[in-house]
Amino acid sequence: MPAAGTIPAPGSAILYMSVEHYENFPVASWLCPARLRPPITAIYWFARVADDMADEGTAPQAQRRAELADYRAELARVAAGGTAGPRWAAIFNPLAAAIREHGLPVRLLDDLIDAFMQDTGNPLYPDRQTLLAYCRRSADPIGRLLLHLYGIRNEGALARSDAICSALQLINFWQDLSVDLPRGRCYVPQADASRHGLQAGDLRAGSPTQAEKSLVRDLCQWAADLMREGAPLARELPGRIGWELRLVVQGGLRILEKIAEMDHATLSQRPALSRRDAPRLLWRALFAMPGGAR
């Protein structure tokens, strides 16, 4: 993965539908129509750089928030027709072109920055609805932006896209517990932890107890249910985007399988996809899509 700020030529990057952890759900660029590679690449790098501001390095919270505020102001400036400044010209010049040429909804781009700003405070989430409200800004805009580029506007498709994107976000959270918890970041809803006799704020990476494994199992089931709710969208979308989405859905479900195979012990280790998973994902995308998508 190139370092943040190193921008590839349009179409040369691998394209992803996940914002938080790009490596899990790849969509090869050859599946994407050539005319859409520049705007999708622009969206990817816009989100990637903002996410790194919130997550990477050792800068204090105040500095991260100040940088994200400047980034947000730059978005507003280019969206209004202004010229990108030199600091992030490699990000905002291609994005401004995408906004002009494709009418990208700027509100969705701003929602992403708002979610990353929230991440700098490492808040706890009292319940599932509060966490889904975060996913609405951190993940769902990506799917909606891609559907916009493909000219898909109907509310049913947008709702199913939201379900898929939120599911992907949740899967990332439960996959990454051993990575996020040491960094002070916990997305486990406090209400779910309480049902298992636990406190979300007290969870720590390491050898999990049975109660912690049971908690992760329930959280994974929630993500799987949400994914299956949105999965029929893949059979509704024509051509390449439908195939892209099938692979994305199967990548997420495969991560959930890997978590189950390790007895939901993601407080101690992080499962990941590998090249060996590719044949299984392709077969399932062709013949075994959930929700009857074939």
Q: What is the pLDDT of residues 204-225, one digit of tens each?
A: 999 999 999 999 999 999 999 9
The pLDDT score that the predictor gives to residue 147 is: 93
pLDDT of 292 strictly over 90: no
Confidence of residue 57 (pLDDT cuts 50, 70, 90): confident
pLDDT of 120 strictly over 60: yes
pLDDT of 288 strictly over 50: yes
- 208 backbone φψ class: left, alpha, beta (φ>0; ψ -120 to 50): beta
- Give pTM, 2 decimals: 0.88
Q: What is the dihedral of CA 66, 67, 71, 72, to 10 degrees?
A: -20
Q: What is the mean pLDDT of residues 133-158?
A: 94
Place of tokens 């992030």: 88
The pLDDT score that the predictor gives to residue 76 is: 98
Confidence of residue 291 (pLDDT cuts 50, 70, 90): low
Q: What is the pLDDT of residues 14-46, one digit of tens each?
A: 233 333 443 433 333 456 788 888 998 899 899
pLDDT of 12 strictly over 80: no
C-alpha dihedral sign at 131, 134, 135, 138: negative
Contacts of 4 (CB under 8 A, 6+ apart): 48, 49, 52, 56
Closest listed residue to residue 256, CA positions, set 225, 287, 212, 289: 225
Domain architecture of the chain: domains with CATH: 15-292 (1.10.600.10)
Q: Which of 17-31, 41-55, 141-155, 263-277 has the lowest mean pLDDT?
A: 17-31
- 39 backbone φψ class: left, alpha, beta (φ>0; ψ -120 to 50): alpha
285/30: higher pLDDT: 285
Confidence of residue 68 (pLDDT cuts 50, 70, 90): very high
Contacts of 173 (CB under 8 A, 6+ apart): 180, 187, 188, 219
Residues of the chain with pLDDT > 70: what percent? 88
DSSP bridge partners of 27: 15
Average pLDDT taken over every residue of the chain? 87
Measured CA to CA in angstroms, residue 138 lies from 6, 110, 144, 207, 214 at distances of: 22, 10, 12, 30, 26
The pLDDT score that the predictor gives to residue 55 is: 86
**Backbone torsions φ then ψ of 27, nearest 5 degrees:** -125, 110
DSSP bridge partners of 141: none
In 84-238, alpha helices (H) = 89-102, 106-119, 128-138, 140-149, 155-175, 177-180, 190-195, 210-230, 233-236
CA distance 113 to 120: 11
Cβ-based neighbour number of residue 158 at 10 Å: 17
Local structure of 173: helix, strand or coil: helix
95/235: higher pLDDT: 95
The pLDDT score that the predictor gives to residue 126 is: 98
